[in-house]
Every structure is written in C-alpha cells, then in structure tokens.
Chain A
C-alpha cells in the first residue's frame, strides 16, 4: 500500500476556487468515474464516497477550502487504476459476468427472472412429458419409428411457443394463429399415408421442424411478425439458441455416459431407461431450457454467434477461394454424384448463416470496412461455386427423374441462391457506398417468409404431388 500518482482526471477543480465552488458536483463526477469501473460495484463506490466525504470534512475543519480538501482527499484515495487492480484481485468474479444468478439483487430484472424460472421449468417438463404421451397409446419408439421421425418437432416446439406466448403476453388472436399452425403441422405429419422408408417422411422430418421453428418465431416476436427489427431479433435468438442447445447436448452426453457407466459398475443395465427416457425427454426439455438461457443472458453476455462468424468468415473465404483455384488449376469438373446437391446446399446454408450473423451484430450506420469486403468475397465465391454445380447438374436432373428428394434439394438450392445473389448485389452497392446497409438487413428479414412458404410447401404439397413416395 503506497501512495501512487493522481490520475483521477478531475483537474477541473484546480481552477474552480472560491465560495461558488461546487463540491457536490465534483463528488458526483468522481462517483461517475467509480461507477465506470466494473471491478467496483455500487456498494464499494458508496463506501469509498463515504470515506472521501469524511476526509474532506476533516480537512475543511482544519481550515482548508473545499476544493483543496477535495483534491487532497482524492489524491490520498490513491490512483483509480491501482484501486481497481486491488479490487479486481479481491473480487475477480466481478470480471466474469454472471448469468443465472443476477449480480445485483435489487434490480427489477432479477425479480422478473425469478417469476420466469418456474414457468420455464413447467414448459420444459411439458415438452419432456409430451414425448412420452404417444407411448401411453401403445406407440413404441422402435416399432413406430416413422411416427416419431415425422412428429419429433411437435413435442417440444409447442411448449416453447407457449413459453414465449406467456412471456410476451400475446393476445388471444395470436394464440389462435399459433395453435392453428401447430394443428396444421400435426395434420401434415400424420394425415398422409407415408411409408416409414419413403423419401417423403424424411423430407417431412427435416422441413416440419423448420416450418414450426418459424411458428415459434411468431410467438417469439409476440405476434408482431411483420416488424423487420423483431424478425432480426428472432434470427439472433436462433443462432444463440443453437449454440446453447449444442452445449446442453454436450453436457447431456457426459451425464448419459456417467449414468450408464456407474450403474454398469454395480451390475445394473440402465440403457433402456437412457434410450426411452433420459435422452429423448432431456432433448425436448433442452429445447426450452436453451431458449430460456438465451433470453436470460441476452443483455449479460456477448452473443456467441457473431463471434464465431468473425472467426470463421475469413477461414471459409480461404477455403472457398482455394477450392475455386484448385478446380481451375486441375481442370477437374465437379463430380456430380447424387449427394452433391445436398453438400452444396449445406455450403450455401453455412454461407448464409455467416452472412446473417455478421448482419445481426453489425452497427447499421458503420461505414464499409475490410470485414465487409471479406463477406462479399465469401458470398460471391459461394455463388460461383454453386452456379457451376447447377450447370453441371442440370443435364443429369432429367436423367434421374424428379424424385421428392431431388426436387426438394433443387428447390432449396434455388431458394438459397436467390437470396445470396440479391444479397451480393446489395452488398456490392453497400461496399461501393451507394446503398445503406439497412437494405441488406431488410432483405434478409423479408426473405424469411420464403423459407416458411417453402418449408410448408414441402411438408403439405410434396407428398400429394409425389403420391406419398
């Protein structure tokens, strides 16, 4: 403990002397400096302020003017940097923002999250138990795999939508729309006579969750689904939710492994319980818990999806450009296998994801920078690759015939290609300074309706068109 230099930055007091000296103003300014330090919480600042005032009143009692007293008191308090360092050493936990336990118990947000927790647990429990309801009616997880394949999104997502409907206090009309859409999803999944090994059942299993996820989006935005800003919030939410769901899944994997291992050690086989209860019910509950975590932490912790985007955008640019160079250098054509379309669809999804989450975190008024050019390079190279794939594949499409899988893959490619092509155009305009960035955001949020339309088309129309193949 030594006296250190005075870097409090309040030299304004030096010139301001005399009777009109504003001591309270100076102390308020000093307090503001304290509050800016994360290491010092409100109580610490109050304690230090009490000390400062005690020191000042002692100094003024022995004849100093208030401004002199203030300067000496601040000087004796020690440099703010050193003070912060010492506080950080003692309270290192404050540098880690805490999520579930609210840091300051007297904030209104803490009271709200206390009420939210039981509702979230209830919704998670409903989601978990919903998975077991069909088994009471004799539907077995192994024997009726087709039923569970096409219905798995109908267990958790209604509970998730209900949680958001409660949390956003949506009106009765929106609740009606949500319920109707979920019923429509249930009908689509079960009304058609689809074989367990048909292509259509796989397509339904992939597209119904997408369609219903966007229905959850309607609940998430509190029924205000026309608002572009709220849609963007839902995109942000989706990215964070996915990350949290994967993290919860990893934790669940560790839990499962230990449960199996420890019970195995005492000669009990619990794999049946794991397969029919722990994993499916845990996954369903995880959907709701991950959503709650995202909501609880959205203002506490930096969003992860944009961080990952920042890390991976340059890497994907390098990967795509080297792929293009390698293809031109070796003059190897793309090997158009049946799965090629799906692979390149996934590539477009990833590029679109990188684009979306870069947009979601961007300051809309910032000027174009290096990262924007990288992003443009990413989109353009993905487009070039995809066009080459499409050119190579068109000739073969007729040869294969229009099976449900091929049609869906091609349709998806067109949907994504359209989005990225127009995005690239808007991006180019932005990078050249001719268009505001908000246009790009608006385009992405408006395009969500296309995803919804496409997903519902695949779920509702495809089985009819392809005779339930």
Chain B
C-alpha cells in the first residue's frame, strides 16, 4: 500500500515529536523507528527528515546538540522541549478528532457503499 505524499507530510511532525518524547535520538534512529512502527508502510525519503528536524528546532519544539559517543562518529542528537510536548499534545487532540470523524463517517457509509458498488461495476 502506498500512502500519499500529503498524508506522509501531515503525519511527519507528530510522528517525530512522538518518537522524541520517548527520549533523545538522532535522524537515522528516528527514521528506523518510523519504519518499524508503520510496518514499512510509511516511506520517507531519508534526506527530507532533516529539514523537518531543523524546522522543529527553529520553532523551539526540539533542541539539538552534537555529541560524540566514545568510539563513535560525531552525531547530532535531538531532544523534545516542553513547548514541543505541548505541541505534541495539541497535535494528538487534532488527529484524534480527525480519526474519530473518519471512523464515524465510514461506519455510517458502509451500508451505502455496499449498495452502490454493484451499480458502478455494472457501469
């Protein structure tokens, strides 16, 4: 299944903030986690995660610093801020409202699609 560009873009911010709410992380690890959580269905172009992270940093939702783990490469780590947590809570509320609405629409129209479907197939 291919998820459209708009949906991927819209869900990117809450996903990244949600992952960072668990603890500080870096770009590649965030991407791997998104991949695992979505069962490989949510496909991001790797590079495009970074402009997003920089935007969140500019808005003050996350903080970043360069760390060098012993024996490892220098790497930029991102951490969620209090403002970022507030933003995440707000986004969760909005997504919950959208998901709830969609669910009720689909349960109401289920009977309609089953009636009209044969007509389309005939046409």
Contact = CB atoms under 8 A, between A and B. Distances in A.
Do A and B bind?
A: yes
Interface of A: 1-4, 43-44, 46-48, 50-51, 53-55, 73, 76-78, 82-83, 86-87, 89-91
A134 B54 CA distance: 57
A50 B75 contact: yes
B74 interface: yes
A89 B74 CA distance: 26
Given A44-B50, A48-B47, A76-B45, A1 B8 contact: yes
Contacts of A1: 5, 8-9, 12, 44-45, 48-49
Interface residues of B, number: 25
A91 B45 contact: no
B18 to A, nearest CB: 16
A393 B51 CA distance: 69
Nearest to A2: B5
Contacts of A55: 28, 46
B87 interface: no
B46 A91 contact: no
A72 B112 CA distance: 45
Contacts of A76: 45-46
Specify the main secondary structure of chain B where it touches its partner. helix
24 contacts: A1-B9, A1-B12, A1-B45, A1-B48, A2-B8, A4-B45, A43-B76, A44-B54, A46-B76, A47-B27, A47-B76, A48-B50, A50-B28, A50-B74, A51-B31, A51-B47, A51-B50, A53-B73, A55-B28, A55-B46, A78-B48, A82-B47, A82-B48, A89-B51
B103 interface: no
| Most chain A CB within a 10 A radius of its CB, from B9, B47, B50 | B47
Given A46-B74, A51-B28, A77-B46, 5 more contacts: A47-B76, A82-B45, A86-B51, A87-B50, A90-B51
Interface string B50-66: 11001100100000001
Contacts, number: 73
What 3 pairs across the A-B complex have the smallest Cβ distances?
A78-B45, A54-B28, A86-B51
A87 B12 CA distance: 16
Nearest to A39: B51
Interface in B18-51: 26-28, 31, 43-51
A82 to B, nearest CB: 7
A86 B48 contact: yes
Contacts of A87: 50-51, 54
Contact of B47 (A43, A50, A53, A78): A78
Nearest to B2: A2
Contacts of A82: 45, 47-48
A91 B44 CA distance: 20
B79 to A, nearest CB: 15
Contact of A90 (B31, B46, B58): B58
Contacts of B45: 1-4, 76-78, 82
A80 B18 CA distance: 28
A46 B64 CA distance: 14
Interface string B63-83: 000100000011110000000
Contact of B43 (A3, A89, A90): A3
Contacts of B28: 50-51, 54-55
A43 B27 CA distance: 13
A142 B69 CA distance: 72
A90 B53 CA distance: 10
Contacts of A53: 73
B47 A77 contact: yes
Contacts of A90: 51, 54-55, 58
A89 B75 CA distance: 23
A2 B2 CA distance: 10
A48 B75 CA distance: 10
Best-buried of B43, B45, B76 by chain A (most CB within 10 Å): B45
Contacts of B12: 1
A86 B26 CA distance: 19
Contacts of A2: 5, 8, 43, 45
Contacts of B73: 50, 53
A23 B43 CA distance: 26
A291 B45 CA distance: 48
Nearest to B57: A90
A83 B47 contact: yes
A33 to B, nearest CB: 12
A76 B46 CA distance: 6
A50 B43 CA distance: 20
Nearest to A47: B76
Contact of B27 (A3, A51, A78, A86): A51
Nearest to A44: B50
B46 A78 contact: yes
A309 to B, nearest CB: 39
B51 to A, nearest CB: 4
A1 B48 CA distance: 7
Nearest to B55: A90
A87 B49 CA distance: 10
B32 to A, nearest CB: 8
A76 B44 CA distance: 8
B64 to A, nearest CB: 9
Nearest to B66: A43
A37 to B, nearest CB: 12
A438 to B, nearest CB: 47
Given A1-B8, A2-B5, A55-B28, A47 B48 contact: no
